């Protein structure tokens, strides 16, 4: 058989290791079932050629073998079904944990359209192999048992049969090597197909408005990829089917040879010849079952490589992110500092990598800090460094004078609540030491969306709202978190003028009076005076601009 790479072997052993006892028991039971079926075949041949009729002992032995074959096969199937379901659950949990703990920059580079097929398609492929193990074990045992029985009948006949099996296996080996290339290409196509599906769902409005793009996506991208995957799967499977057909034909060729030369073997003993033909015909089914699993084994190899690749890529120095952590009352930080922090994105093609830094910034508790600057200047990247989502390549982040390390970075992140520009809105509510429904209802009223949304059973009743209203719901989450530092990335960009005015002139000052430290990315220069401090990001560099603000200026109401 074609040997999969070591990474696939190791990944399979790692996946099955927690269930090896049940799996080993199922394999042994499957082997027992295969031996029992072979013994039944031997008993049938003896009964057919017995002189003087069938005795009671023969019938009892036959019944006992039937019981053993039935019980062992059922128990083997039950065991591997258990392992198969556990493998699915284990992979879903372990890969989900990998994704949750992966560094953000790794997730951003891996992309969703590559991630989802691993979590769905590849996991199902691996579990399919676990379900096929009883069939594989029983069929292999029956095949070997039949070969042993043929050897006991006639070494000459066994030699011809063994030669046919070796030839058929060689054909399957060559077919598998040829077909696996097609299966791998088809699996690559699945990633692209997932990307096009995302475009269909997330770009539905844009596609409806743009006929050429809509038709190109469907005809040149989605349909072409679907047809290519279909063609690759058909061609690869056809290679196996052709090889299986040739293998089946070899059995009849061997039978024909045996019938033609029956006078030369075993002194023309017809009992031996009938046993040989019956055994060969019986063995054809189990051997074809083994061969039919080869495409699944090939696809399983590819799936294991993908899973191993994801596990290796999503390595993290913060391996304790899912460990239960006791609730600790941490004092609000007094000072947050970036000291000579530098971060470089990987180069894309021949372009120079975008580099941030060295960045130096000190933020005192209770301040309102505005981060301003042109798009692409590095504002959001600065935020990700401040939040501990990106680990600096050089320099340090200090909290009250103490460096933030890999071991303390997750505790550090719990000081922040953030509403990103590309935020994700969770519909369930969490809050520390607050009456969540009552508090949420108050916030919804203040944000003027209580007529559209209410809290039911700890969840928002709906999130099917405009982008600006969804951002207000995200702000409700931020309030309920009751964390000392709040970060808003272009929060007001999707609000109407009246609510933008309310955000800058009422909500931010109110949060400051509550002792919160506020970091705001903004382009609203008419409200820059609200900040205690203003910094500008340009070309990855930080420019300190001292904001006005000891006495707020009157800001005209929006029109």
pLDDT: is 547 or 353 the higher one? 353
* Residue pair 150/273 in contact by the 8 Å Cβ criterion: no
Q: What tokens does 389 get?
A: 């989502």
Question: Mean pLDDT over all residues of the chain?
Answer: 80
- Predicted TM-score (pTM) of the model is 0.69
CATH of domain 7-313: 1.20.1560.10
CB neighbour list of residue 99: distance below 8 Å, 6 or more residues apart: 107, 115, 119, 314
* Residue pair 501/555 in contact by the 8 Å Cβ criterion: yes
Q: How far is it, in rounded angstroms, from Cα 298 to Cα 50?
A: 46
User: Model confidence over 69-119: pLDDT tens digits?
Assistant: 888 888 887 887 788 778 778 887 888 888 778 888 888 877 766 777 787
At 1 the pLDDT is 36
What would the 3-class secondary structure string for 31-42 be?
HHHHHHHHHHHH
Q: What percent of the chain has pLDDT over 90?
A: 16
Residue 337 has pLDDT above 90, yes or no: yes
Distances from the Cα of 113 to the Cα of 109, 120, 271, 300, 402, angstroms: 11, 12, 62, 20, 39
Sign of CA dihedral 70, 76, 82, 87: negative
Q: How far is it, in rounded angstroms, from Cα 338 to Cα 484?
A: 18
CATH superfamily of 335-415+483-545: P-loop containing nucleotide triphosphate hydrolases (3.40.50.300)
* Residue pair 312/118 in contact by the 8 Å Cβ criterion: no
At 49 the pLDDT is 65
Question: What mean pLDDT is predicted for residues 456-464?
Answer: 83
The H or E element spanning position 260 is helix 223-260
At 305 the pLDDT is 81
At 384 the pLDDT is 92
Using alpha carbons, select from 488, 512, 537 the residue that is nearest to residue 361: 537
At 422 the pLDDT is 83
Confidence of residue 527 (pLDDT cuts 50, 70, 90): very high
User: Model confidence over 203-213: pLDDT tens digits?
Assistant: 776 777 778 88
Burial of 348 (0-12, 13-18, 19+ CB in 10 A): exposed
At 89 the pLDDT is 81
CA 558 to chain centre: 48
Lowest mean pLDDT among 214-223, 234-243, 381-390, 499-508: 234-243
The dihedral region occupied by 246, where left means phi > 0, alpha psi between -120 and 50, and beta the remainder, is alpha
Asked if omega into 178 is within 30° of 0 (cis), the reply is no
The alpha carbons of the chain give a radius of gyration, in whole angstroms, of 34
Question: What mean pLDDT is predicted for residues 147-165?
Answer: 78
Q: How far is it, in rounded angstroms, from Cα 333 to Cα 330?
A: 8
Residue 336 has pLDDT above 50, yes or no: yes
Residue 539 has pLDDT above 60, yes or no: yes
Distances from the Cα of 131 to the Cα of 93, 266, 413, angstroms: 19, 42, 43
Question: What mean pLDDT is predicted for residues 52-74?
Answer: 77
Residue owning tokens 């198969």: 84
Confidence of residue 552 (pLDDT cuts 50, 70, 90): very low
User: Model confidence over 392-443: pLDDT tens digits?
Assistant: 999 999 999 999 988 888 889 889 989 888 888 888 877 655 666 777 888 8
At 214 the pLDDT is 82
At 184 the pLDDT is 80
What would the 3-class secondary structure string for 187-255 be?
HHHHHHHHHHHHHHHHCHHHHHHCHHHHHHHHHHHHHHHHHHHHHHHHHHHHHHHHHHHHHHHHHHHHH
Backbone φ and ψ for 357, nearest 5 degrees, come out as 105, 180
* Letter string b/e over residues 397-409, b meaning 16 or more CB atoms within 10 A of that residue's CB: bebeeeebeeeeb
Q: What percent of the chain has pLDDT over 70?
A: 87
Sign of CA dihedral 227, 230, 234, 236: positive
User: Model confidence over 461-493: pLDDT tens digits?
Assistant: 888 888 888 888 888 888 888 889 999 998 888
Q: How far is it, in rounded angstroms, from Cα 477 to Cα 500?
A: 19
Q: Are strands 394-399 and 335-344 parallel, antiparallel or unpaired?
A: antiparallel
Distances from the Cα of 456 to the Cα of 441, 461, 462, angstroms: 10, 6, 10
Question: What mean pLDDT is predicted for residues 346-358?
Answer: 81
DSSP-assigned states of every residue in 394-406: EEEEEETTEE--T
At 261 the pLDDT is 63
Q: What tokens does 479 get?
A: 């309030």
At 48 the pLDDT is 67
| Sequence-distant contacts of 212-215: CB under 8 A, at least 24 apart | none
Q: How far is it, in rounded angstroms, from Cα 15 to Cα 86?
A: 10
At 327 the pLDDT is 62
Q: Where are the domains of the chain?
A: 7-313, 335-415+483-545
At 287 the pLDDT is 75
Q: How far is it, in rounded angstroms, from Cα 390 to Cα 108?
A: 11
Q: How far is it, in rounded angstroms, from Cα 465 to Cα 17?
A: 47
Q: How far is it, in rounded angstroms, from Cα 94 to Cα 31?
A: 31
């Amino acid at each position: 058989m074609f040997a999969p790479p070591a990474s696939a072997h190791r990944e399979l052993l790692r996946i099955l290791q927690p269930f090896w006892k049940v799996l080993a028991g199922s394999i042994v039971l499957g082997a027992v079932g295969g031996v029992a079926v072979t013994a039944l075949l031997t008993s049938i041949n003896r009964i057919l050629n017995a002189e003087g009729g069938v005795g009671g002992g023969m019938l009892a032995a036959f019944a006992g073998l039937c019981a053993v074959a039935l019980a062992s096969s059922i128990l083997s199937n039950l065991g591997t079904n258990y392992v198969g379901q556990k493998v699915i659950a284990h992979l879903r949990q372990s890969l989900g944990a990998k994704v949750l703990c992966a560094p953000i920059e790794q997730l951003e580079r891996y992309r969703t359209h590559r991630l989802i097929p691993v979590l769905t398609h590849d996991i199902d492929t691996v579990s399919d192999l676990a379900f096929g193990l009883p069939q594989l074990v029983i069929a292999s045992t029956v095949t070997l048992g039949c070969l042993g029985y043929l050897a006991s009948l006639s070494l000459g006949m066994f030699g011809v049969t063994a030669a046919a099996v070796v030839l058929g296996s060689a054909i399957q080996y060559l077919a598998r090597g040829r077909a696996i290339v097609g299966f791998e290409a088809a699996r690559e196509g699945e990633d692209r197909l997932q990307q096009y599906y995302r475009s269909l769902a997330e770009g539905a409005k844009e596609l409806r408005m743009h006929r050429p793009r809509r038709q190109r996506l469907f005809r040149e991208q989605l349909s072409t990829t679907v047809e290519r995957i279909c063609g690759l799967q058909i061609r690869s499977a056809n290679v196996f089917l052709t090889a299986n057909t040739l293998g089946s034909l070899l059995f009849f060729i061997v039978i024909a040879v045996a019938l033609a030369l029956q006078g030369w073997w075993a002194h023309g003993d017809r009992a031996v010849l009938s046993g040989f033909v019956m055994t060969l015909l019986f063995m054809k089914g189990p051997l074809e079952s083994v061969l039919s699993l080869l495409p699944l084994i090939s696809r399983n190899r590819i799936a294991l490589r993908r899973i191993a690749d994801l596990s290796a890529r999503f390595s993290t120095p913060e391996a304790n992110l899912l460990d239960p952590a006791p609730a600790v009352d941490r004092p609000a930080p007094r000072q947050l500092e970036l000291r000579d922090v530098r971060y470089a994105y990987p180069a894309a093609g021949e372009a120079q990598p975008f580099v941030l830094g060295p960045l130096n910034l000190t933020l005192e508790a209770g301040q309102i800090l505005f981060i301003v600057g042109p798009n692409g200047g590095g504002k959001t990247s600065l935020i990700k460094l401040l939040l501990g989502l990106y680990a600096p390549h050089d320099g340090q982040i200090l909290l009250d004078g103490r460096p933030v390390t890999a071991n303390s970075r997750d505790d550090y992140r719990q000081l922040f609540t953030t509403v990103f520009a590309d935020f994700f809105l969770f519909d369930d509510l969490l809050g520390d030491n607050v009456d969540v429904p009552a508090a949420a209802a108050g916030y919804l009223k203040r944000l003027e969306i209580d007529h559209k949304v209410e809290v039911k059973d700890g969840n928002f009743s709906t999130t099917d709202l405009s982008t600006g209203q969804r951002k207000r719901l995200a702000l409700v989450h931020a309030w309920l978190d009751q964390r000392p530092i709040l970060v808003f990335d272009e929060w007001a960009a999707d609000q109407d003028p009246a609510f933008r005015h309310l955000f800058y002139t009422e909500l931010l000052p109110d949060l400051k009076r509550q002792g919160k430290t506020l970091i705001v990315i903004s382009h609203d220069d008419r409200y820059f005076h609200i900040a205690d401090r203003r910094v500008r990001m340009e070309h990855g560099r930080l420019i300190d601009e001292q904001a006005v603000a000891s006495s707020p200026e009157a800001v005209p109401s929006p029109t």
